[in-house]
Amino acid sequence: MTQLPLRAQLASALGRSAATLSRMTGRGDGSVIGGRVGLMLEPDLLRQLARDRRLALISATNGKTTTTRLITSALLEMGQVATNAYGANMPAGHVSALSQHKDAPYGVLEVDEKYLPEVLDTTGAGVVCLMNLSRDQMDRAAEIWLLAQKWRRALSGKPTHVIANCDDPLVTWGASTAAKVTWVSGGQRWKEDSWCCPECGGPLDRKEERSSWGESERAMPTSHEAVATIDTARHWACRECTFHRPEPQWILDDDAVIDPRGRRWVLDIQLPGSANRSNAAMALAVAEAFGLPVERALPRLREVTSVAGRYTTVERDGRHARLLLAKNPAGWLEAFDVADPALPIILSVNAQGPDGRDTSWLWDVDYRILRGRPVFVTGERRLDLALRLDVADVPFALAETFAEALGAQPPGRVDVIANYTAFQQIRSEFGRAV
């Protein structure tokens, strides 16, 4: 790798010192402050740190931290990888990640959806992975349409290889100006933000999915004919213009991925739920874009057990609580998919800055799936959630604190779904994961 210019070396070193100082004084992992200091001293630092590396940028409303982790794990098979493992997904976090691994030939960066155009322009990343776009807290469909439009402009005319989920119409539209796209059929659980064609506003027609996202019985596909059946089952198309779902090269089929050569790979990953199988399918396609074949990437994906505390279990007095993070309506559906219907469930909702102060998004989620299991509601905005559950005819019990909710459980396992700050509070209070 070529040497960084002196000013960039200095900015990078001072940034790392600031990060270390911040960690030592207990102000978090320091990646944001370190990157800010570096960028203050050398505004061009991100571009310089990105030069001469092979980079992948990962963006989506949901699953970007996990997918970043999965891709990192895979690429470690080939060499050192710089990554923003703690979800600091804006330029300061990227500077910090790249500056901590100066000699890593590879970089896998989670990027906030809004920052993708800027970070792509600055870094000139060779690979971009786009998974899903849906309303996030108070954002509404019009805003995510604007985001997708910015992606289109950013990707247009660049040599970047895009790996995108063609089951999400808005992602498809956002990615389709790129010169080279590998389409992955990763499924789409949350459809409420994609009933309209992003190109013309006309209605989108869909075929009902039958495999991993539905409950219907089906035979295992063993041939190309069966692959084609899955493919048509997920088809969507605009009724009024020519915009339609492109043909995927990679297909997530229940617990397996079918690669571009028609080979079927059972994923067998440790992260739970269909959303994570979709993340894994995207990760395999990205790995292949880096020249890493499935047979080498997949065993690495299976090593990932938890991501930034998600899916870990905390224990107190014989109660083992598995923590699921859900930050927006689509995230809640994914968490419901992972939660064990046989277990009681604790829901914890806050409305602090990082959560979004407005809790009206709670009304977008269909909670009826929780009927029939013991439900406990806690968090600072538990009454907002309680009202929503009451309207949905889901019986529940209120608890002042998470500790009280946990104490009300019989010894054994319980699932917890919490939004961002509620999740962090539980992690810091209950500390060590078991």
CB-nearer residue toward Zn ion: 39 or 197:
197
Among 32, 31, 38, which Cα is nearest to 15's? 38
Report d(CA 201, CA 403) in Å as an integer: 48
Closest by CA position to 172, among listed 111, 234, 262, 260 = 234
Residue closer to Zn ion, measured from CB, 201 or 372: 201
Q: Are 137 and 327 in contact (CB under 8 A)?
A: yes
Q: How far is the CB of 91 from Zn ion (least distance, A)?
A: 34
- CB neighbour class for 29 (10 Å; exposed up to 12, middle 13-18, buried from 19): middle
Using the minimum distance from each CB to Zn ion, give the nearer residue, 145 or 213.
145
CB closer to Zn ion out of 146 and 200: 200
Nearest distance from residue 245's CB to Zn ion, in Å? 12
Residue 238 near residue 196 (C-beta atoms within 8 A): no
* Residue 149 near residue 83, CB atoms below 8 Å: no
Parallel, antiparallel, or unpaired for β 313-316 and 319-325? antiparallel
Contacting positions for Zn ion (CB under 5 A): 197, 199-200, 202, 238, 240-241, 243
Cβ(140)–Cβ(115) under 8 Å?
A: no
Distance in Å, CB of 167 to Zn ion, minimum: 17
DSSP string, 118-142: HHHHHH--SEEEE------TT--HH
Smallest separation (angstroms) from Zn ion to the CB of 247: 18
- Minimum CB separation of residue 93 from Zn ion in Å reads 36
Burial grade of 21 (CB within 10 A; 0-12, 13-18, 19 or more)? middle
Q: What is the identity of the amino acid at 25?
A: T
> In angstroms, what is the minimal distance from the CB of 169 to Zn ion?
10
Q: Which helix (H) or strand (E) is 197 found in, with range?
A: none
Q: How far apart are CA 88 and CA 93, in angstroms?
A: 5
CA distance 188 to 202: 20
Angle CA 20–22–28, to nearest 5:
110
In the complex with Zn ion, which residue's Cβ is closer, 138 or 200?
200
CB of 149 to Zn ion, least distance (A): 15
Q: Supply the minimum distance, in Å, between the C-beta of residue 205 and Zn ion.
A: 10
In b/e form, how buried is each residue of 320-349, taking b as 16+ CB within 10 angstroms?
bbbbbbbbbbbbbbbbbbbbeeebbbbbbb
| Residue 301, CA atoms < 13 Å, CB-side half-sphere | 32
DSSP-assigned letter for residue 196: B
Give the nearest distance from C-beta 202 to Zn ion in angstroms: 4
Q: How far apart are CA 149 and CA 48, in angstroms?
A: 28
Kindly tell me which of 195 and 363 has the beta carbon lying closer to Zn ion: 195
Provide, for the chain, the percentages of residues in helix, strand and coil under a 3-state DSSP scheme, each rounded to the nearest 5: 40, 20, 40
The distance of closest approach from Cβ of residue 37 to Zn ion in the complex, given in angstroms and rounded to an integer, is: 47
Minimum Å distance from CB 210 to Zn ion?
25
Task: Kindly tell me which of 224 and 239 has the beta carbon lying closer to Zn ion.
Answer: 239
Give the residue with the Cβ less far from Zn ion, 241 or 391: 241
Tell me how far, at minimum, the Cβ of 182 lies from Zn ion, in Å: 23
List residues bridging with 250 in a β-sheet. Answer: 184
Question: By C-beta, is 145 or 336 nearer to Zn ion?
Answer: 145
Question: Nearest CA to 31 among 83, 92, 91, 82?
Answer: 92
